[in-house]
Structure 1
Amino acid sequence: MSNDMPDIEPKVVDRAEQPYAFIRGSVRMDAFGPIADRLGELIGWLNAKGVPFAGAPFFRYNTLDMAGESAVEAGIPIASLPTPEGDIQIGTLPAGRYATLLHTGHPDELFGAITAFRSWADREGLTWDMKEVDGTERWGCRLESFLTDPRVEPDRNKWQIELSFRLADTSGDSASTP
């Protein structure tokens, strides 16, 4: 690990299925704003419908192509199931074993944290629920959850972001892209 990347302390956890509301978009990684900016719209819609949140807002990467378009969802775990409307859809995050890592710092530092996280998984012999097809990663479930409310803590250097990447299921039910 490089000297500029702090030690990381990932964990492997079991997660149950989790309903969520989301807006899906296709974005380039160097132009993430069009999907990131939709989180506020989703939060407002859920609040207007009286739907309680069951966790922190997140981005779910269904496909990841660092040089091209990626299929990404802006989502929020929910405690009840509203009727979908317009671009807002309802889905279920899959149950399973997830490797998780808590990153504290600016979102621009996530690339380094993800690189260290993936190296850790390689050293541990863990396999992601992901298949690479023609240079595009197709993930069963890969999340970046924003645990810090920017209205409470505007300093992005203090934000906490949890990375949760689903591990391959040895029963063969893996990398099922929604």
Structure 2
Amino acid sequence: MTTCTIEQWSERHWVGIPVTAELSRWDRVNALVPHVFAALAAAGHEPLGGPIYQYHRLRTVADPMDVTVSVPVAAPVQLGTGFDTGTLPAGHYLVARPHGGPDALAQTHRDMGDWANQQGLELAVDEEADSIRWHVRTEQFLTDPQTEPDRSRWAVEVAYLLR
């Protein structure tokens, strides 16, 4: 079982690229990560950590989902066409920090959902006729794959905004 905590977060700034993709084409999503880091470097800005995948909308795992591939920054940054900037809002978040990189994420999300239900917590999500929309659902990679090639040792921070 994944260890879950509830944490109070302050507002967190990010810059990133929005994309719609299905899991079978996740290579397209991952390919955006170096573009965000390169654009930040070219503009003279430092990232505050590893990439954050922000999940916005999903119907089923077989359908395309709306995601923003982003990087945390100290203050709002404008990088030009194709890039969005925004903030993860301050609030209470359900958080887990599993090891195992992408391979651990499906189980982590199931465990977090189960734990939230057991605790009587309500995730900030809107269920619509054609999809599920999260106010904030993120996966931030805490381990740099260039310094740790073993995916089983990667740490990820998974977070859901609570209502």
Task: Check whether TM > 0.5.
Answer: yes
Q: Distance in 1 between matches of 2:76 and 2:111?
A: 36
* Counterpart selection for 1:127 from 110, 122, 126: 122
Which residue identity is paired with 1:91? G
For 1:176, the equivalent position in structure 2 comes to none
Q: Distance in 1 between matches of 2:13 and 2:154?
A: 25
Pick the aligned partner of 2:135 from 129, 140, 145. Answer: 140
SS at match of 2:45: coil
Relative to its length, the structure with more helix (as a share) is: 2
TM-superposed deviation, 1:8:
2.0
- Name the amino acid aligned to 1:148: T
Match of 2:32 in 1: 38
Q: Give the C-alpha shift of residue 135 in structure 1.
A: 4.7
Q: Is residue 14 of structure 1 aligned with residue 8 of structure 2?
A: yes
Unaligned 5+ runs, structure 1:
1-6, 169-178
Supply the RMSD in Å over aligned alpha carbons: 1.3
Give, as a single letter, the amino acid of the residue that structure 1 aligns with 2:18: R
Q: Is the 8 A contact 2:43 2:79 kept in 1?
A: no
Q: TM-score, normalised by structure 1?
A: 0.86
Task: State the alpha-carbon separation in 2 of the partners of residues 56 and 97 from structure 1.
Answer: 21
- Normalising by structure 2, we get a TM-score of 0.94
Partner Cα distance (2:3, 2:104) in 1 = 16
Deviation track 1:75-107 (CA, whole Å, cap 9, x = no partner) reads: 011013332312112111111110000110141
Check conservation: 1:104, 1:158, Cα contact below 8 A.
yes
Q: Given that residues 49 and 82 in structure 1 are in contact (C-alpha distance below 8 angstroms), is that contact kept between their aligned partners in structure 2? A: no
Q: Which runs of 5+ in 2 are unaligned?
A: none
> For 1:153, what is the secondary structure of its paired residue?
coil
1:51–1:80 CA contact under 8 A, matched in 2: no
Is 1:19–1:79's contact at 8 Å kept on the other side of the alignment? yes
Name the structure 1 match of 2:89: 94
Shift of 1:50: 1.5
Do 1:12 and 1:97's aligned partners in 2 also have CA atoms closer than 8 Å? yes
Instruction: Please tell me whether residue 56 in structure 1 is matched to residue 50 in structure 2.
Output: yes
Is the 8 Å Cα contact of residues 33 and 51 (structure 2) preserved in structure 1?
yes
Identity over aligned pairs, percent = 28
Whether the 8 Å CA contact 2:50–2:142 is kept in 1: the answer is yes
Bigger drift between 74-83 and 37-46 goes to 74-83
Number of matched residues? 162
- SS in structure 2 opposite 1:107? helix
What CA distance in whole angstroms lies between the structure 1 residues aligned with 2:13 and 2:141?
Answer: 17
